Amino acid sequence: MQAEPIRVLVTGAAGQIAYSLLYSIAKGDVFGKDQPIILVLLDIPPMLPVLDGVVMELQDCALPLLREVIPTDKVEVGFKDLDAAILVGSMPRKEGMERKDLLKANVAIFKTQGAALDKYAKKTVKVKEPAEKRKKQPREAFTAQTFLTFNDSAAVSVPHPQVAMRCGVSSDKVKNVIIWGNHSSTQYPDVHHAKVNVHGSETAAYDAVKDEAWLRGDFISTVQLRGAAVIKARKLSSAMSAAKAICDHMRDIWFGTKEGEFISMGVYAGGNSYGIPEDLIYSFPVQIKNKTWKVFDGLPINDFSRAKMDATAAELVEERDTAMDFLSQ
């Protein structure tokens, strides 16, 4: 017998990331090939005509798992009885816009959506955000920083293929590269704990790559600046890879991480063993079991990594304080 349909919200559903994301979700890439889905598409009122087009296309895809598509511009409809929520919708940065102005606009959006999640969603809702822990943290911290943490999805798609290409293997042969910190040019991709499967034997990434200068130099800057490089080339921000990374993250939240592997995810830092300020949302290595994440503790950190982890934490502290200022206005 087939399972009952689950209700999944995607916000920013008329946008370019959602355009790739919705197809992957509706064909079973995220919640499994035997899990029927009701897709709820939330966007702002001027985008409703575009949403209609997206609904038509989803219907025309003739996907057997897709039971219903509900387009809406109302949070009380969008967030009602959810099993999972993927919050993509936000104000994109426009030319000449200060990071601070962008933060202000998005703080307002996530404040509203955080409150709507609490009010209308099922209490077991899984959010592609570190929302499982949101009850244990100050509400403001969750609502103010969620849009930053969504962004880590796009970042984590970059490093594994980079290492894989360097070693001449496919990207599934590389595991446990960590992204620490913010999603910005201070993020720190760390290969010290990563493994590469070369001809069937698991090798430390440093030994497999055999190029320390690259690993400590161009590799890091390529990952840090990838978003900007895609915008420069495409004249649009990354969407296909961002959608794929969001799908991977949501699937890991739903089904758990593989044995012996961790993934990087922006989560609440409370109780971490890495000396990161406790009230930040920070990207850590995490393992997920029974739909609950846990920071993978106890990895040894050398001086090179320490400095980079602290630099990205300092930037997040500054952004957190700015967001808190906006929230209290």
Ligand X SMILES: NC(=O)c1ccc[n+]([C@@H]2O[C@H](COP(=O)([O-])OP(=O)(O)OC[C@H]3O[C@@H](n4cnc5c(N)ncnc54)[C@H](O)[C@@H]3O)[C@@H](O)[C@H]2O)c1
Task: Identify the residue among 30, 109, 116, 205 touching ligand X (CB under 6 A).
Answer: 109
CA distance 88 to 78: 13
Contact 76, 83 (CB under 8 A): no
Closest CA to 288 of 132, 75, 93, 181: 132
Cβ proximity to ligand X: between 173 and 226 the closer is 226
Binders of ligand X in range 78-107 (CB under 6 A): 88-93
CA distance linking residue 64 with residue 220, whole number of Å: 42
- Whether 183 is catalytic is yes
Q: Of these residues, 160, 183, 193, 249, which one is catalytic?
A: 183
Residue 279 Cβ, how far from ligand X at the closest point, in Å?
22
Interface residue with ligand X among 239, 246, 263, 280 (CB under 6 A) is: 239
How far apart are the C-alpha atoms of 26 and 8, rounded to whole Å?
10
**Member of 22, 144, 154, 196 binding ligand X (CB under 6 A):** 154
Per CB under 6 A, the list member of 227, 276, 319, 323 interacting with ligand X is 227
Tell me the closest approach of the beta carbon of residue 11 to ligand X, in angstroms.
Answer: 4
Q: With 0-12 CB in 10 A as exposed, 13-18 as middle and 19+ as buried, what is 260?
A: exposed
Site map 5..34 versus ligand X, x via CB under 6 A: ------xx-xxxxx----------------
Site for ligand X in 248-307 (CB under 6 A): none
Query: Is residue 71 involved in binding ligand X (CB under 6 A)?
Result: no
Count of residues touching ligand X (by CB under 6 A): 26
The answer to whether 44 contacts ligand X (rule: CB under 6 A) is: yes
Instruction: Determine which residue in the list 151, 176, 182, 287 makes contact with ligand X, applying CB under 6 A.
Output: 151
Of the candidates 134, 183, 193, 195, which one interacts with ligand X according to CB under 6 A?
183
Specify the residue for token string 């593989």.
258
User: Is 131 a residue that touches ligand X (CB under 6 A)?
Assistant: no
Smaller CB distance to ligand X: residue 227 or 285? 227
Tokens coding 278: 């406790």
Residue 313 exposure: Cα atoms within 13 Å on the Cβ side: 18
CB of 237 to ligand X, least distance (A): 4
Residue 23's Cβ-side half-sphere holds a number of Cα atoms within 13 Å equal to 13
**Token pair recorded at residue 164:** 């894989």
Q: Is 118 annotated as contributing to ligand binding?
A: no
43 is in an annotated binding site: yes
Would you call 168 exposed, middle or buried from its count of C-beta atoms within 10 A (0-12, 13-18, 19+)? exposed
Contacts of residue 76, defined as CB under 8 A and 6 or more positions apart, other chains included, come to 116, 119, 120
Please give the residue ranges that form the binding site for ligand X (CB under 6 A): 11-12, 14-18, 42-44, 47, 88-93, 109, 151, 154, 183, 227, 237-239, 242
Query: Would you list which residues are annotated within the binding site?
Result: 43, 106
Catalytic positions: 183
